Homo-oligomer: A and B are copies of this chain.
Amino acid sequence: MSAIGVFDSGVGGLTVVRELIRQLPRETIIYFGDTARVPYGIKSRETIIRFSIENILFLLKQDVKLICVACNTVSSCALPVIKSHFRVPIVGVITPGVREAVYATRNKRVGVIGTKGTIKSGSYQSQIRQLDPQVKVTAAACPLFVPFVEEGWLSGGPVLEVARSYLKPLKDAGADTVILGCTHYPVLKPVIQKVLGAGVALIDSAKQVAIEVKKILAQEDLLGRGGPSRHKFYVSDNPEWFRELAARFLGKPVREVKKANV
């Protein structure tokens, strides 16, 4: 039985896996985290495309019917190129979040936060403007959020003060809707909500991605019919590190993580 392939540069993509499992309980997930080469956020487009193609080739060998790019950096700077290379359906994390944000905003002011690579690529900004030219977009890179999440500093003074500094331009712009444009950020939702205020809608792309995946599987008549087999998790390095962090993103522990060479 053919599975859904998911890849990310590391562990963050598990927030997408969590939603896929919730919304598509009959599907089997095969996850690949490129932990030998994490993080992608500071790498060049050329390098990110090369790594992504290698990751997809690995997943195709595991017999997958659809590939989910659970990484904002890859989705924002490499998706059209990698889509043009492969026949398997490939779903990124940008478009689903953009669609939901444009739908959700009342005052036509949307904020986007992500890694430096994602924000610099301008993907979110241009896709939002394409969908609704009246929306004013304010974008901010939050490079310390990923290390804070991975080190478990999820609340308290340091992360709160850094969040206040990063999110100030979004508050100043009066955004009523903010896209969490990095798969790590849902873990910091309480801090981000506290800084932005309860009235601001936070768009967690993971939920929208799972809806999109479901739609495509239905269209292509690829939905799983039996129950799921056991989900599989592969990494390119350091399975212990991945296993330790996994529960923070997936909401439950991962039993077995295998090392794979890409």
Q: Which residues of A contact B (CB under 8 A)?
A: 35-38, 42-44, 47, 143-144, 147-148, 150-151, 153, 156-159, 161-162, 237-238, 241
Give, as a whole number of angstroms, the nearest-CB distance from A128 to chain B.
26
State the CA gap A127–B43 with chains docked (Å): 36
Interface SS, A side: loop
Distance to closest chain B CB from A185 (angstroms): 15
Task: Count this chain's copies in the assembly.
Answer: 2
Nearest CB of B to A115, in Å: 12
Cα–Cα, bound, A161→B237 (Å): 32
Q: Closest 4 A-B residue pairs measured CB to CB? A: A158-B158, A147-B147, A157-B161, A158-B161
Contact A238 B42 (CB under 8 A): yes
Q: Which residues from B are CB-within-8-Å of A237?
A: 43-44, 47
Residues in B whose Cβ lies below 8 Å from that of A47: 36, 237-238
**In the complex, chain B residues whose CB is within 8 Å of the CB of A150:** 143
With A153-B162, A158-B161, A162-B153 in contact, is A241–B42 under 8 Å at CB? yes
